[in-house]
Chain A
Amino acid sequence: MRLSTLGLLAAGGLLLAPAPRALAQAAAQPTARTAQPLTRALAEMRRLYGTEFVFEERLLAGKTTAVQVVRGRSVEELLKAMLYPNGLLFLYVDKNHYTIVARDARAEAAGPGPAVGAVPAQARTLSGQVRDEKGEPLPGATVLVGTSGRVGVATNAQGKFTLEVPANALALKVSSIGYETQDLLITADQFYAITLQSQSTGLGEVQVVSNGYSELPRERATGAFGVVTSEQLQEIPVPNVVQRLEGQVAGVQLNIQSSDNSFLYRLSAVNPRANTTGTNDYSLAVRGQSSLGDAGAQRPLVVLDGLPTELDLRTLNPDDIAQITVLKDAAAASIWGARAANGVLVIQTKKGRFNRAPNLNFSTSFTVAGRPRVNTLPLLNSAQLIDYERELVDQGQLVDPGLPPANPGTAYFPRAISEAQEWLFRAQRGTATVAQRDSALGVLASRGRTGYDQLRQYLLQPAQSQVYNLSLSGGGENNTYFLSGSYAKERTNATGSDGSRLTLTANQEYKLFHWVTLTANAKGTFFAQQQNGLGLSPLATSPSELLPYNQLVDANGQGVDYSYAFYGPKLDQLESRGYQPWRYNYLRQNSLNDNTLRENNYWGALSLSAPLYGGLSGSVTYSMERTFGENPVYYSPDSYYARNLENTATSLSPTTGQLVYGIPLGGILNRGTSGRNNYTLRGQLTLDRNFGGKHQVNAVAGSEIREVNTSATNLTQYGYNDQTQLAQAVNSLVAYTTVTGGSQNIGSVNGVVDRRNRYLSYFANGSYTLLERYTASASLRYDDYNNLGLDSKYRARPFYSGGLAWTLSQEAWLKSAPWLSNLRLRATYGLNGNIPAGAVPYTSISLLPNNPVTNQGYAQINSPANNTLRWETTAVTNLGLDFGLWGGRLSGTVEAYYKRGTDLFVDYPANPTYGYTILSRNAANLNGKGVDLTLSGSPLRTANWEWTLNGVASYNTNQVVDYQVDNTATLLASGTTGPINNRPTDYLLVFRSAGLDANGRTQVYNRNEGVVPYNQPLTSLDDLAYAGRKTPAYTGGLTQTLRYKALSLYVQTVFKLGYVFLPPTFGSLNTSRGIDLNADLDRRWRQPGDEASTSVPGVLGSTGTSWVRYSYADARVQSGDHVRLREVALRYAVPSSLLGFGTAKPFVKSLSLSVAARNLGLLWRKNTLGLDPDFLYVPTLPVLPPAVSYVFSLNASF
């Protein structure tokens, strides 16, 4: 027996009815021109009156009514007119719920009222409450008497029912659409608490997609939509949505570069020039690269509750998210026009539902990560480093700072050197014997990896995070609400860097005057972050880098001071003359600086919508978004930064012998603020109408204006005292004498940046479905943007798309196939756009203060006039196939797409004869293609056991074409360059290594297999070898859930295949910058003959072309392919019997506990070096592979 809730949702997103669990298949055919199927009439009633009906499908099959559903008549009146002629009756459950039954099955009870069946002489009254497995009341569930009964009731809004049953009745049958039907025996009890288990449907079978402007049943959508549900998001217990998106949608390439941090980014502050927030922590692309600009220009557009937002994903509380729809092709995304080329993420937050009892949900999780894995870093140990330094000294690559100055009279400021170099030079100078030197070096060498170990001990810590989340949702007759608050606290792996996030959300909806809907959504996100940890930064190549034999703490537990500004004895001399102490101490850095970041984000939207006529409704939406960021950095007077800056600006007066201070002594306060102030105003008409049961039309049209303001200020105060809060005035233009006798001025102490951009758009999007089988869709958008020049011909541009879909499984000739539950074909084509940031058609100049020669104001040309400036466009063709087999046991989607990007903006080397070495122009085309595959299924499903799988895989590649610039020479010299014709954007071309010459310098083969020495140029791209692509061609993931009763095991693996990388190695020899610590140095060429066994050049070969050719050699290329075990989680949903569901009013409706382990490492890797290709150690921004973290969570609803 099948029952069905008629929960038709009008596709217009403005009729904010609760999202249905499923959509009824209205299969009935109309019998007369004026009549419509009864199911459709009931759907209309639901839409207009918000009523819900429960009925057996077969009862209504084939029945029609001529009654027109219009406002102004009472529900009962309409129902009588529709149902009575059809031999049907309706039972009143409460104001919004009716059960429809056949007349003949019903006793002679009169009129609506508490439902009763055929009441025999001896009857008893039972009551009860029906809930789902989460403890939420189930309204509209049917409770029938007997296992094949015809008499029953539907539950009310609280899931409650009252039913009179014959005394001889043995059982109740409880059912609800989407849930397993349950039979239960009638006992002596009066009250029955009943929990229904939801029917498992494949995870991929999401029914409603949203493009941000409207919601559409998936079977009427032609475009490529990817959906992540809140259930999927819930499985990843990380307090940032970014991590939760990994491996969920085919075609979304997410690269997580954060190791042990989630929402505390390493680059957080708002940058008014480009969106850089989080660029060090993650990159997100939809279907590969569509633009050749910087990372900010390649980000997908984020749409939050229907409105474009500039907020980063970390500002969202992941538990507030109901669904994320990824718009991948033109049909899906082109409604976003000029900003859609990179794909769109449409995020919908949770809402309450009408007529629902309040539901309080509390969840908390605690995450603890393992110790940071410093020992995995490929760095030299003490003995290896000393050996290298010895060679540098022997080769004369390093200058002895201890030698007397060449001109005794002149100022001499030798640079600082390491402890080992000091001993090597002492022996050279004769101030130490060779024996003394060797014994001292022996002591240093014996320290092994002390520096790294101490860095781990004193500067790093296991990361931790805690999250608390509380939400309340529900609704009355005329309003719904969803309120939530969450607090997350995170401690990164750098001691001294931690922070918190508070999010508040209030989503409300009101029905006014029975026909106007007012939606009011507000969110606030507040960050407070301390960024004082040195973390791994001492291992970055710099003059203050930490060497393996350096100690943070000596044997007595005291912090060790190091000279970094100048040679130690020079610092002694300066300090004795009154300079401030000038030594660096790693341990004291944390406590002496105060670098805090506070960011407040506010988001609010008001929307008023009203039905107008015959399925047409109108709405007006206003939203605002504010971000205030504040980043005060206080360097206390004792901090190295302040002492170093002030000492550098201090000179000794030649006349008085007194110290002259160029920068006032004391603390330094640098105060940066940043802000965004954006608004959007949109008017929209929505049509959602079915004509005659055959023709379904969904359309939106409207216009939108949007303004985005970004600002930043920066102020530096010198001589600042944080107690008195007073600073000393400085004249930033007056020159002072530096310690070395040079002349310098403080320079700008404040700066203001303010940018305002405006957008104007008109949009229309519609779909037409015939007979539930054939769908055509089209969209058109016209965008105008203030920055593309003066004339609208440069900036205004239409974007369009069209699509077709055919649901084969609805065809009569396929309907009979019982194993095929769904089969659809889709095809779309359309244009998306992208706005080249900062490009203008006229000569763009910027103003600068104070020309250094004349002190006049002056101007510079940012970019020459470009009267051919055009928007970047990407044409996308998408072909899709959706299928469902065996009632959804296995379902999936295969999509193939082809993208053609034209007029892409690219920086290219210009002929300097034109006055520019780099120009940006619409100069490249980019072809892209790929395949997205989504599969979900549940191979095993029994009452106790269930195994579900959800797999996504995607392939993407691209090729630059019609690119007019020849980058050959740059590439041949540096190993890297911009685009190259007929290569993907992420190509890796490498030199063909021919080993080392007899002097330890790199040789390569040219295209004729001739050996080219290091000082000879290569001439053609054919001299290089194509190593592959630097980003994965194949990405995806597999999530599996194995459930046994209340216990479920979740396993997530993700993979990246089809790409290569060059493992980090040491940099080109540059002794003034600090010494490289990469372990490759230990395999270097040392003496003739070594070239037989190593390809790492010697000291002399570690510069210039020889180094470049070693660094970009084919021999070093490694495959990046790997499979990562991202998460294993065990969840226990405490059974309702243990929670007291048997009682009338259980306090806890549901409770689940889980423990998850994340970042468990790589299951398989192809590279032979044991490297994790996602977390390569780059000396400029050192990063560690993430440590395994353990998450303990509790989730309860009341």
Chain B
Amino acid sequence: MGLTRRDFLTLGIGAAAAVPLTPIPWKLLDDTAKWSQNWSWIPRPPRGERSVRYGTCTLCPAGCGIQARCVGKNLIGIAPVAAHPVSHGALCPYAFGAHQLPYHPARITQPLRHGNPASLDTVVAEIAARAKAGAFAILDERPGRAVSAAYQRLAAAHGGLYLVADHTETTTLQHFADGSGRNLADLGLALENVRTLVSFGAPVLESWATPGRVFALWKSGQLEIVQVEAELSKSAALASQWLPARAGSETYLASLLAGAIGIAEAAERTGVRSDKLAGAMRFIHDRGPWLAVSGGGFPLAVEQSIAGLNAGSGAIVARAASSAAGARLARVPDASAGARLSTVPDASVDARLSHVPDASVDVLFIDHGLLGGSVSFDSLRSKVRRGGIVVSLSPYRAGVAALANFVIPTPAFAESLDEAPTPWDAVSPSYALAPALLDPPAGATTALDFINRVTGGDLPPEAAIRAKVGSLFAARRGEVFTFADRATRPVTEFKSAPDLFKAFSTGACWIDRDAKTVAVNYRPVSAGPEARVVAPTRGTAISPPLFTKLDQESRIGRA
């Protein structure tokens, strides 16, 4: 008798009856739940040894000290460095999202030629030929570094121009520089010596000057803010007095402060109530020394009247020549064989982009810095001759780089040795290094290395930086604050320049608090070219990816 269907059925039922007595159903249920924990698209944080490394944020000119929390070779978070002589333990939102910048979607790791990927060698050959045949210029969006001095040196040696753009934040200081025949880089704001800061539209309690310095003075009540602005900006909201002058009427407030007009006239012209104006004037004058700064963007005459408010107040100072020595790059040996020693020009000697005649440049190199920079493409384009090219050196295809003829990928945040020279507002010269905390991708090349390659320059970034550190060591001025132990030592305690370089590379900041300063007198320059190419100091082409929290997922907006 063979096996019938009923037999198979009985067999099957027997098996089915046994199933719940085996692990099969229970284990499968359990395991499918656990399987869902290990799907490939579930994000996995990195694993590895945890450590803390110190460095400097170079996303903006302030140069704040940072601690980077690391897991293995990855950066997983940024924190401030307390008691830092420049940043005073402060950091801005950019720093906290900076460790994600190397992975920004706009990142490029291959050169782009007219928007298409190209090999580095092709691009080098083409640009080198053009630079040799015509006039080249280097626009440095982060002046004051040793690398900046290297640009100046190579521009001088190879018939090129070294340029910097005007920025909104330094408008008032630039007027002082122009009016006193000094360099912008030698001037500073003596914020510690004033009691009130009268801001004409400058975002003084947002991202401005060295934020840590401003906040430290403001939160203690030592420095009060009077904000002149048509809009209730964040700074206006936080200021002790907000003077909501109608847009275009700021000049009358300047005149009122100068004593040229009375309260009644000022009230009528600006739309601010008389009692408010009177209160503000009393507030400013009663408190003691005050400083007026402009946020930029006003007509020349208005800027001059704002700058003029500081004439003779001693609030704007210049570092005396002797103390500027530490900021100058030392004599650097020529790399070419049998060469003499040559002196590197003072990094503070700038040529302003605004003063360059239109259509005079064949190849414009732009060192955009770490956030893709901010000068507008139109203003740059006018300086370039027809048929000339714009070469953007940036980690990202964004901003000007998205429109440039060539884009050369440079290292992103914390991927290469960088510098934090004296911030524009500082009175004491300072210098810090930002060591590389990450390895740059294979295609990235530093801006200076690339420009050297296409123009025949011979001073690589590290050599320039070491020379700068050497000059700091040789000048024997100032002290060094090391981040790991928060100790301060005089420079003279370091045994050698390489010793000092090593300290910088593991997180340190040099500052010369004893640098002598002199008050600067202001004389308005009656017929100077208006700065037509003005970039917001903290304008950027890209933002840290987490900025969606500010821009999109809440209504707080940017600082």
A binds B: no
